[in-house]
Amino acid sequence: MSSKIKILSENLCNQIAAGEVVERPLSVVKELVENSLDAHATEIRIIVEKGGKRLIRVEDNGAGMSREDLFLCLERHATSKIASADDLFCLKTLGFRGEALPSIAAVSRVRLASQQENSAEGFEIHVDAGKVQKASAAGIPAGTVIEVRNLFFNTPARKKFLKTEQTEFSHIADFISKISLSFPQVQISLEHNRRTVINLFRHHSLSDRVVALLGAEIFSQLTSFEKSGLEGLKVHGFLGSPDLNRNSASAIHSFVNRRFVRDRLFQHAVMEGYRNLLPRHRYPVVILFLEIPPDLVDVNVHPAKREVRFRQQGIVHDFIADSIQDALRGRKLSVGESNPAGMGWSFPVSENRKPEAVESGKPYPFVSTKTSRNYSSRVVEELTGFKPVQYPGPSRTSDPETGEAGEISSLLPDDPDFQKRGFFSSLQVIGQYHNSYIICQSREELILIDQHAAHERIGFERLKSQFENGRVEIQELLFPKTMEFGFQDAAALQENLEKLLKLGFGLEPYGGKAFVLRSIPAVLNPDQAEQVLKETLEEIVVLGKSRAMTHEIEKLLITMACHSMVRANQSLSLVEMRSLLQEMDDVDFSTHCPHGRPAVMRLSLHDVEKMFHRP
């Protein structure tokens, strides 16, 4: 009987390996750039077309390859970086598996050209879906050029998984910006569709590179830190002010021995380091380099080398968390000092947990200067989390005694006063309670209005109807503002310019990652606009396309609305209270509240009497 089991062909093996190593254009860029860095290049140029789907070209001035190596590097498990299993545990290079080039070549059309310094001539070879098509001498400068065209052209099923050009490119830009932090001395440029997106010269220090990459404004909110621990552990980098917090963990940049990794352990340790300083579900901006003796870490646990495993996970975790905590603690503010010179930032007070010093009865060391962000995220949570207010159906409209006796009921839209002259405008204002609630009475009811919730709802309803009618009311900025964004945000911006314009933000590309902000929604205070735009963008990046569009827009409107609103704890004059009531009528407050919490409560005379046990 013949055997059913077959040894797979070399090419098929490479295609299977490619499934693990080459997931998307980003993977190709990552492997090629890592190779260039391993070859000690000091200049790397990356050229991408159509998000990397059409072309990825990486040029470097590194060590180059001989003619023989040019052929060999395409063989599976061909590497110059390790020779024995022991080498796996004292790695000094980013690559070591010898899988990348054959995997990439198996699913694209590749041209490799290389010239070693001091050799008479260079060589190039062309490979199509893993098969060498031609090889010849080539005149190129010392270094290596690898061109990858038509990724996944021979594996259409995989091609279907690719996202839009912009999305694929934003992953690439994000990776380049991260890896460039790890190699500040290397000149790195990235072009997309013939536009230069990143252009970093050689920098002397990490700080210079951070400024060049993230901008001086963010840099001013970072503080550098460094610590050595047991077992040869060392950590250094930058910690963002807790105020600089983000919606996702994507701004936690972690590196192990200069290798960028996305590792749960790191994220957890960082969050532990920032414990009590961040609002719920917010993440800090952190650049963290861990140096660890190579024999204490295994980098060979993930085909794309994104994750690592430590021999002593707990020790590494605690070392990172403690280092961050110490660094942040060392910079605590003294009482009343909100933003001392040189600090550039202050700690906000987190929502749910009080800073430790408060818990332990020490003087209150944190002064919050910017809580709006915590605040807005909380409002979004609250508004989206609450169930819609249940209005009674038509069957109950004839019954004026709504709600169970003795219970506070939500405001009902079926009150005859609603239809006539505006229910709220017709109320008599008794006063304000606790600078937060407006107390009114109608003919026989006591009405409590949460001024903040009411304002929020007004703003939201107004924005929503403006949005539905085409465009949100805008105000042109007297002084258009140039804003710099991170790569991912800039890509999201570029993709969503129209959507943002509909929301009232008029933005124009200004080259690279810069945009000019010309108009903002009329409801916003120009001072807050930038902040709201950034948050809105974050929402877009995080929510992406995964959620229904309407939900997304609604969330954005809520974010915007809560920035324009009257806060709780604000004393209002009678005129202001009256105008609030008027506005409540104007926006048709009663008819729909997509995820509103009750902004209004009312007690009938009967309810009040019952409270006091009156017959």
276 near ligand ADP (CB under 6 A): no
The region of 79-87, 171-179, 381-389, 511-519 touching ligand ADP under the rule CB under 6 A is: 79-87
For 463, half-sphere exposure in the C-beta direction (CA atoms, 13 angstrom radius) is 29
Q: Which of 59, 60, 415, 495 binds ligand ADP (CB under 6 A)?
A: 60
Q: Report the residue number whose CB is nearest to Mg ion.
A: 95
Q: Which of 100, 110, 206, 556 binds ligand ADP (CB under 6 A)?
A: 100
300 near ligand ADP (CB under 6 A): no
Using alpha carbons only, what angle is made at residue 51 by residues 98 and 62, rounded to the nearest 5 degrees? 40
Site string for ligand ADP, 127-156 (x = CB under 6 A): -----------------x------------
339-344, Cβ contacts within 8 angstroms, sequence gap of 24 or more: 339/369, 343/223, 344/220, 344/221, 344/223, 344/241
The region of 12-20, 92-100, 262-270, 300-308 touching Mg ion under the rule CB under 5 A is: 92-100
102 near Mg ion (CB under 5 A): no
Residue with smaller CB distance to Mg ion, 98 or 294: 98
Residue with smaller CB distance to Mg ion, 102 or 596: 102
Q: Which of residues 474-503 bind Mg ion (CB under 5 A)?
A: none
Residue with smaller CB distance to Mg ion, 95 or 521: 95
Crossing angle for the helix pair 549-563 and 451-468, to the nearest 10 degrees? 130
Q: Which of residues 19-58 bind ligand ADP (CB under 6 A)?
A: 31, 35-36, 39
Residue with smaller CB distance to ligand ADP, 14 or 323: 14
DSSP conformational letter for 334: P
Q: Which of 14, 15, 27, 35 binds Mg ion (CB under 5 A)?
A: 35
What's the rounded Cα separation, in Å, for the pair 425 and 450? 16
- 98 is in the binding site of which of ligand ADP, Mg ion, none (Cβ under 5 to 8 A by kind)? ligand ADP
335-342, Cβ contacts within 8 angstroms, sequence gap of 24 or more: 335/363, 335/364, 335/365, 335/367, 336/367, 337/367, 338/367, 338/369, 339/369
How many of the chain's residues bind ligand ADP (CB under 6 A)? 22
387-414 burial: b if 16+ Cβ within 10 Å, else e: eebebeeeeeeeeeebbeeeeebbbbbb
Q: Give min distance, CB of 458 to Mg ion, in A.
A: 58
DSSP annotation string for 105-145: HHTSEEEEEEE-TT-S-EEEEEEETTEEEEEEEE---SEEE
* Cβ-based burial of 193 (10 A; exposed 0-12, middle 13-18, buried ≥19): middle
Q: Give min distance, CB of 124 to ligand ADP, in A.
A: 13
Residue with smaller CB distance to ligand ADP, 143 or 348: 143
What's the rounded Cα separation, in Å, for the pair 502 and 521? 9
Q: Give min distance, CB of 34 to Mg ion, in A.
A: 5
The region of 90-98, 450-458, 519-527, 581-589 touching Mg ion under the rule CB under 5 A is: 90-98
Contacts of 459 (CB under 8 A, 6+ apart): 523, 560, 561, 562, 564, 565
Q: Report the residue number whose CB is nearest to ligand ADP.
A: 95
DSSP annotation string for 366-423: ---S--HHHHHHHHHHHHHHSPPP----GGGTT-SS-S-TTS-EE--TT-HHHHTT-T
Tokens of 224: 């550098």
Q: Give min distance, CB of 11 to ligand ADP, in A.
A: 16
Q: Which of 11, 66, 98, 370 binds ligand ADP (CB under 6 A)?
A: 98
Compute the chain's Rg from CA coordinates.
Answer: 30
95 near ligand ADP (CB under 6 A): yes
Residue with smaller CB distance to ligand ADP, 62 or 506: 62
Residue with smaller CB distance to Mg ion, 77 or 420: 77
100 near Mg ion (CB under 5 A): yes
Residue with smaller CB distance to ligand ADP, 63 or 599: 63
Which of 164, 429, 179, 223 shows the shortest CA–CA distance to 344?
Answer: 223
Interface residues with Mg ion (CB under 5 A)?
A: 35, 95, 100
Interface residues with ligand ADP (CB under 6 A)?
A: 31, 35-36, 39, 60, 62-65, 73, 78-81, 95-101, 144
